[in-house]
Amino acid sequence: MDRPANAGHVRIFSDLHLGHKLSRVADTRALRPLLDGVGTAVFNGDTWQELAREFRPLGERQLTELRAICAEAGAAPVFLPGNHDPGWPGDGWLAFGGRRVVVTHGDALLPAGSPWKREILSNEARVAELWREHPEAARDPAARIRLARAIANELRSVEPPGGRSFLRRVWDAVVPPRRALHILEAWLVQGREGGRFCDRFFPEARFLVIGHFHRAGCWTAGDRVVINTGSFMSPGRACVVDWFPGERRLVWADVDERDPAAWRRGRIHAVWRLA
């Protein structure tokens, strides 16, 4: 398990998609106020466009800037892998509060990771083969996330020259209709699937913090709470989750992006205290 370097206040982000033309993080300095007073900043997958050749150079530069901003703020960064940046080392998940709070990107919740992707829709047999090649993924969370990385690496999205415009991405999302149905289904079932993921791999967990689906929200699955921190890629809404270990308190809040030069924690949606 990856362990934060700093045991203080933890702030969890996801899906910055640094380098992508539709990422709202055009200037990484806008993130600086979100790091004030933070001991550990957890970037929960899809932090940058590692796999997209078109976007990787800018993503690398912005990632370097992000590391420098974290150092300036005194926030120790922890990077977890996502389907767009599967190369980060480690098990791919974090746990706090005696495994009562678990953090992982979210692509491991679904068997195909991102079943709406054209590359996966046309290669379902290969996804099944990868599952057969990783039998331990049914039992071990680190192995399950390694399988998710393997699917992301092999069946990666191919961006056309110049990337896709916003309108083109909307069109791509609904054609063919099967793709749109997979997107809608993923939005609807992420809470339920998060509960099942914890049942299998983290039975002690009361909270699961994810990203991946680009739909911020909070769902209950039995006695568990599944929180999605959304996305910094348009048109998604970005949120953060804060963990205060001394108080055993978890806070879910919006990111206030109204000042383009200085984003801050915005409206608080919910506060939980662990017994």
Residues constituting the chain: 275
Structure tokens at 191: 């809470």
Burial label for 6, CB within 10 Å (0-12, 13-18, 19+), is middle
d(CA 122, CA 9): 43
pLDDT at 5: 42
Residue 161 pLDDT: 46
Residue 212's φ and ψ, nearest 5 degrees, are 70, -50
Residue 237 per-residue DSSP state: P
Tell me which architecture the domain covering 10-273 has in CATH: 4-Layer Sandwich (3.60)
b (16+ CB within 10 A) / e for 182-193: bbeebeeebbeb
- What is the predicted pLDDT for the residue at 162? 52
How would you write the pLDDT of the chain (275 residues) with one tens digit per residue?
344 444 569 999 999 999 999 999 999 999 999 999 999 999 999 999 999 999 999 999 999 999 999 999 999 999 999 999 999 999 999 999 999 999 999 999 999 999 999 899 999 999 999 999 999 999 999 999 999 999 999 998 655 545 556 555 555 655 567 788 888 888 899 999 999 999 999 999 999 999 999 999 999 999 999 999 999 998 899 999 999 999 999 999 999 999 999 999 999 999 999 98
The pLDDT, as a whole number, for residue 3 is 42
